[in-house]
Structure formats: structure tokens, C-alpha cells
Amino acid sequence: MSKQFDVIVIGGGPGGYVAAIRAAQLGKSVACIDEWKNSLGGPAPGGTCTNVGCIPSKALLQSSEHYEQASHHFADHGIAVKGLSMDVAKMVARKDNVVKQNNDGILYLFKKNKVSFFHGRASFVKAAAVGYEIKVTGAAEESLTGGQIIVATGSSARALPGTPFDEHHILSNDGALRLTAVPKKLGLIGSGVIGLEMGSVWRRLGSEVTLLEGLPTFLGAVDEQIAKEAKKAFDKQGLKIELGVQVGDIKTDKKGVSIAYSNARGEAQTLQVDKLIISIGRVANTTGLNAEAVGLLLDERGAIVVDDDCKTNLPGVWAVGDVVRGPMLAHKAEEEGVAVAERIAGQHPHVNFNTVPWVIYTNPEIAWVGQTEQQLKAAGRAYKAGTFPFLANGRARALGDTTGMVKMLADAQSDEILGVHIVGPMASELIAECVMAMEFRASSEDIARICHAHPSLSESTKEAALAVAKRTLNF
């Protein structure tokens, strides 16, 4: 006997669990199915984000940043540290505990919102009289029927052809977050978001880190001026980033991993490391869903094809998050999940992709929203730019962290803010004001006229807005 629900959500990551909660808030009977297992085989909802992504990476970034501060920067404040050491196992155990708190939090939220949770793998069986039949394969097998289905099955690390992850020498994000000792030499293929964040963690703890990037430009999607500033900081820290490489044979033996590659000048090179992290992007999770049983349309990369409203080719089937087009970000998945739940309930929400912020949690942090200067130039849009360096900000000086700047781009005629790009301390928090400003279609003058607390890093945002009109007060 199949259990009936108004809405079945497949996947309990940030796209899925949030969609399930919102649909339940709107009065629907909801099931959420997720297969992630903790180390004891129990349920661990939260997806990539909670288990092997956003949360654990930020926990390790925080621990390693404390260590870096204590090793190199406390002395500037007159604090002497003797006998400093790093207990990697304890750092990893703390990270695991942070993850568990988040897993448990989601299970609590399901109970609170009366979402029925099923631990196991979901696959389509067939279209039913109303909706679709879904099979759950886990500790027990279940049959569920849902009028509306939301697929939020996320993504997994992309492997290099011929070099599968063994999570011992060749690591995905999963293995990279589970290392229990600091590798003497660490290699990373891909100097994108994961490469920079994971490379930073292990460099701070003492690894000699080399990133091999295929593209000739560093962080090509980031505003050029900001990427240049960030690269300068990473070079100074000792992160070795080689651009324009072509990776060849990768061999593993007892000693570690050897990577043959040609550098930007076409010269043959070999990199010998103890561990290698492959961070070259991610692929949508659609294998095992049995999409073909109901004719759910996938694209050539295996992602589910959706329209702007996250509707698939099938009536009553929706898909959100990493398994569909667009940036692979937890908050983008959440926004889509909420919007789909509201559409199912007859509402008319809108997700503004132009105001989805990006953050790279390195030191300095990199954060942006809207368009880059290169994009505006390419589109032939007339714009004004204003920048303000943290070097001229009192709070940044007091913090002892004056790297970077805030850069604001506004339309030349209307003054509407078109993009804000930040590299520097707490960029992840500063960007929120800019996202809100763009959502409300604020002008740079609006920001310039708002009273910002002193001394605060946010004054740099106000000063960047003043800089758009060439009237900074403190620079």
C-alpha cells in the first residue's frame, strides 16, 4: 500500500529540506527522502552542504585561520605564544560535531513542521492516477505516491577521466575534509572555489600547496581587479598557483601521487605530492533516480532540464538546486526550493538570479553580487566605478587586516548599482547590504547617504559608493 503525500521531495540538502519545510508551512502533507548516511549508518540530512561542503569547510577554515593567527599575527598584538601546536584529529572531530549539530537540527525541523522523513534512496516507479509513485530503498523498502514531486538530488565531485577518487591519495571534497594529518605536500587540480578554500586550510596548517589550473586566467568569473588583488595576497601567503596548465598522467604509489603536466609555456613538468585534491567542478546527481521510467528530461551533462520556474518537462515534477542549471550554491538552491513550494501552493514568487551573491571564504574573503566590470564592458553598458581600500578604513586598521577593497559599479545615467565586488575582511557579511541594495534597485547615492556605524568595515561600502561620485571622505 503506497503512502500518499501532496508533495514528495527527493533529496534533503539545502534545496530539498527547505522546500519540504516551506511546503509543510503552506499546509501540504510532505515527505522528504534523503539517502545520506552518517558514520554509524544513520540519517544525515543536509546534503553536500551540511556533510561535505559549506559547513565542514567553513569549520576547518575557521580552525586553520585561528592557527594561522596564533602562529603569525598574535605577536603584532603583543601576545606571545609558546609551544603552539595543532591537533588535527581534534580539529576534524570539532568539524564532525558541527556537522552533526546541523544534521540533528534538520531532523528537529522536520518534526516541528510535520514533514515525514524517509532515509533511503528514492527512484521514480511510474506516473500514478494522480502524480507519481516513488520507491524508497533503505533499511526498509517503501512505496510513496505524491501529487507533486520536487527533485533536489544535488551534485557530486567531477573526477578527472581515468583518475577515480580513492579518497586516500586522490581526494574529492569528501576526502579533503577528512584528512587526519597535515600532508607535507598537497596538490590540487583546479584553482576554483574548492581549490582555494581547501588549499588555504591545509597551507595554514603547514602543507606546501600547489594548485594546477587549466585556464590561463585566475578566477575568470570574478571582477579582474578583485581577482588580481586576491592573487597578490595568495602569492604572498605561499599558495603556489600555476595557471594555463594541461594535466597529463597521474600515478599513485606508496610514496604518494605524481602528476605529469605541461605548464603555460608548454614545458613538461612533474609534481610529486602526498595527497591530491581534484576540484574541477561538479556533476548533477541523476543516476539512480530512474528518470527514464517517467520520461524526465535530462540534458547532455545529466542535469535535469527546467524552465525559469524550475518546472521540468513533466506536469507536477519540479527540480531545484545543483541538479539543475545555474550556480551551484546552497542559497540559490534554498531560494529555488522555497519558490517551488510556494508555486505548488498557488503563489507567484520570483527568484532574482542577478542578485545571488557569491562568496569565497579564503583570507582575504572574496564576495560579489551583480555584474563585473568586464561584463559591463562586453555588454557596452555605460557605467561609473568607485573603489575604496580597506587600508583607509579605521576598523580594518584596528583589526590588523587592511588587505583589499570594496568596488561599486553603477549605471552612468541612472546611478543604479549594477555590481559590487569585495576582497578583504568579512566580505561575506559586507556583501549582504549590497545584495539588499540591488534587490531594491538602489543607486550608489542611496548607499552614500545611509548612516553607517563607525568604526565599521561597512563604512568602506559607503565610501566606495561615494567614490562612484568621486567624493570619498577618507581617501
Q: Which of 6, 142, 322, 463 forms a contact with ligand FAD (CB under 6 A)?
A: 322
Reply yes or no on whether 454 is catalytic.
yes
Q: Which of 171, 222, 296, 328 forms a contact with ligand FAD (CB under 6 A)?
A: 328
Q: Which of 216, 238, 288, 327 forms a contact with ligand NAI (CB under 6 A)?
A: 327
173 touches ligand FAD (CB under 6 A): yes
Q: Which of 197, 334, 342, 365 forms a contact with ligand NAI (CB under 6 A)?
A: 197
* Shortest Å, Cβ 11 to ligand FAD: 3
Rounded to 5 degrees, what angle do the CA atoms 447, 448, 452 make? 75
Q: Which of 222, 360, 409, 420 forms a contact with ligand NAI (CB under 6 A)?
A: 360
Site for ligand NAI in 262-321 (CB under 6 A): 279-282
Residue placing its CB nearer to ligand FAD in the complex, 107 or 328? 328
* Shortest Å, Cβ 255 to ligand FAD: 27
Site for ligand FAD in 343-362 (CB under 6 A): 361
Per the residue annotation, which of 66, 72, 73, 454 is the catalytic one? 454
Residue placing its CB nearer to ligand NAI in the complex, 146 or 195? 195
Per-residue binding string, ligand FAD, 272-291, x by CB under 6 A, is -------------x--xx--
The entry of ligand FAD, ligand NAI, none that residue 153 binds, CB within 5 to 8 Å by partner kind: ligand FAD
54 touches ligand FAD (CB under 6 A): yes
- Position closest to ligand NAI via CB: 192
* Shortest Å, Cβ 123 to ligand FAD: 6
10 touches ligand FAD (CB under 6 A): yes
Q: What is the 3-state secondary structure (H, E, C) of the chain?
A: CCEEEEEEEECCCHHHHHHHHHHHHCCCCEEEEECCECCCCCECCCHHHHHHCHHHHHHHHHHHHHHHHHHHHHHHHCCCCCCCCCCHHHHHHHHHHHHHHHHHHHHHHHHHCCEEEEEEEEEEEEECCCCEEEEEEECCEEEEEEEEEEECCCEEECCECCECCCCCCEECHHHHCCCCCCCCEEEEECCCHHHHHHHHHHHHCCCEEEEECCCCCCCCCCCHHHHHHHHHHHHHHCCEEECCCEEEEEEEECCEEEEEEECCCCCEEEEEECEEEECCCEEECCCCCCHHHCCCCECCCCCECCCCCCECCCCCEEECHHHCCCCCCHHHHHHHHHHHHHHHCCCCCCCCHHHCCEEECCCCEEEEEECCHHHHHHCCCCEEEEEEEHHHCHHHHHHCCCCCEEEEEEECCCCEEEEEEEEECCHHHHHHHHHHHHHCCCEHHHHHHCCCCCCCCCHHHHHHHHHHCCCCCCC
* Shortest Å, Cβ 366 to ligand FAD: 12
The entry of ligand NAI, ligand FAD, none that residue 288 binds, CB within 5 to 8 Å by partner kind: ligand FAD
206 touches ligand NAI (CB under 6 A): no
Distance CA 89, CA 460 (A): 39
57 touches ligand FAD (CB under 6 A): yes
Integer CA distances (angstroms), 138 to 329, 365, 426, in order: 28, 41, 42
Residue placing its CB nearer to ligand NAI in the complex, 268 or 451? 268
Binding range to ligand FAD, per CB under 6 A, among 27-35, 163-171, 347-355, 413-421: 27-35
Site for ligand NAI in 247-266 (CB under 6 A): 247
The entry of ligand NAI, ligand FAD, none that residue 250 binds, CB within 5 to 8 Å by partner kind: none
State the cell numbers at 171.
Answer: 581526494
Q: Which of 36, 202, 218, 390 forms a contact with ligand FAD (CB under 6 A)?
A: 36
- Catalytically active residues are 454
Residues in touch with ligand NAI (CB under 6 A) = 160, 189-195, 197, 212-215, 247, 279-282, 327-329, 359-361
